[in-house]
Amino acid sequence: MTRYAGATNNFLGQHEVRGNATKRSLAPRGGESLRTQARGRVGVRGRVFGAACAALLSLGSTSATLAQTYPDRPVRLVVGFPPGGAADILGRIAAQQLSAGLGQQVVVDNRGGAGGLIATEITARANPDGYTLLFASIPHVINPHLYSKVNYDALKDFTPVIQFVSVPLMMASGPSLQGKTVKDVIAAAKAKPGSVNYGSAGSGSSSHLAVELFRSMAGIELTHIPYKGTGPLITDMLGGQVALTIASAVPLAPQVRSNKLRALGVTGPKRSAAFPEVPAIAESVPGYEVVNWFGVIAPAGTSPAIVTRLNAQLNKALQSPELVKALAAQTAEAVGGTPEAFGKVIRFDYAKWAKVVKQSGAKVD
């Protein structure tokens, strides 16, 4: 009995096995030669391959055309916090730059509530056509660890576009705190654990977690007083009810410059250009660092060509000395860069804040 390897059988043709006899079905079809049949098969494969290539080229052409015509109507930039705060102020600056470069109005849509959670969910559900964008910040990577139910994946459901700016937080004290330095705060807290209180913009907010990280690294106990936003917190600090806070430098800066509050330190790895006389907290607590970033992200699936255009426009804007100066007035440092670089920042902080939230025990139902 003749034996053939499977691969050889497939090459030679089909085999009919009857008893000990093996027949090869190699007869030409309809009088065609084997060579003609082979040419036919190659021709079919070539046409299929050509059609596939044409489809890919068509998709690439469509994407390029879309980027050239985009946008043909107003674009919505969703901001997860009320007007007047750091996210709103910086988001409006970004929207103005995009409007000027794209030739279409970019409208800021304030959707405050749940620490930015509502705005993020709205953007995650939006059509990924480039007409709904999110002006995201640190809460984007904090909320998934803080809230018991989040209806989106902070990493998988979004496409990074660009990191617009970075803004250090600021440790500031009110008239009720006698100390003038970070070391004074640590000494007072160690002398009488729990006697020094601090206010935050709310349980689980970046200001709350920034103090929790400081408290943990400094080995001290502080008493937390949560507020519904930075505005009411500052009011009570001025009135002497709250001794300390770590919050965005944007709303604190006017109070510090008018000598109503005292700046004790900034949370960046080095001193801020806006307040060069204020030391970094890391000078007293080595390794301490909290930097709030603000940037543009889009729903996952947004055309790479559109992402590239948005990125290029804001990168171009951030080269303007006038814009850099305007941002510095808000204690913000222009960043820019690639979508990939911004993605790395988001992933790093996602992991970092997961640990901080767990250690703090903060949870929001």
- Predicted pLDDT of residue 1: 41
Q: Convert 326-345 to b/e letters by CB count within 10 Å (16 or more is b).
A: ebeebbbbbbbbebeebbeb
Cis before 71 (ω within 30): yes
Evaluate whether 265 touches 275 at the Cβ level (below 8 Å): no
Helix (H) or strand (E) holding 17: strand 15-18
pLDDT at 5 over 80: no
Residue 26 backbone dihedrals phi, psi, to 5 degrees: -115, 10
Find tokens 């098969």 and name the residue: 41
Between 46 and 88, residue with greater pLDDT? 88
Query: Among 59, 169, 99, 75, which Cα is nearest to 314's?
Result: 99
Bridge-based pairing state of the strands 75-79 and 106-110: parallel
pLDDT given at position 16: 37
Residue 49 has pLDDT above 60, yes or no: no
Q: Rounded CA gap, 55 and 309, in Å?
A: 24
* Banded pLDDT at 12 (limits 50, 70, 90): very low
Q: Which residue has the tokens 């929001």?
A: 364
Cα 74 to Cα 109: distance, rounded to the nearest angstrom? 12
In the numeric block, the tokens 């250690």 are attached to 359
* pLDDT tens per residue across span 162-203: 999 999 899 999 999 988 999 999 999 999 999 999 999 888
> What confidence score (pLDDT) does residue 4 get?
34
Tell me the pLDDT tens digit for each residue of 269-306: 899 888 999 999 999 999 999 989 999 999 999 999 99
Q: How far apart, in whole angstroms, are the C-alpha atoms of residue 339 and residue 53?
A: 28
Phi, psi at 35, each rounded to 5°: -65, -40
Type of residue found at 296 = V
Q: Is the model's pLDDT at 56 over the cut of 70?
A: no
Mean pLDDT, residues 227-233:
85
How confident is the model over 58-114, as pLDDT tens digits? 545 555 566 678 999 999 999 998 887 788 989 999 999 999 999 999 999 999 888
> For the whole model, what pTM was predicted?
0.74
Alpha helices in the chain (DSSP H): 6-12, 34-69, 86-102, 117-125, 139-146, 182-191, 206-218, 230-238, 249-257, 304-317, 321-329, 339-360
Out of 20-29, 39-48, 122-131, 320-329, pick the least confident. 20-29
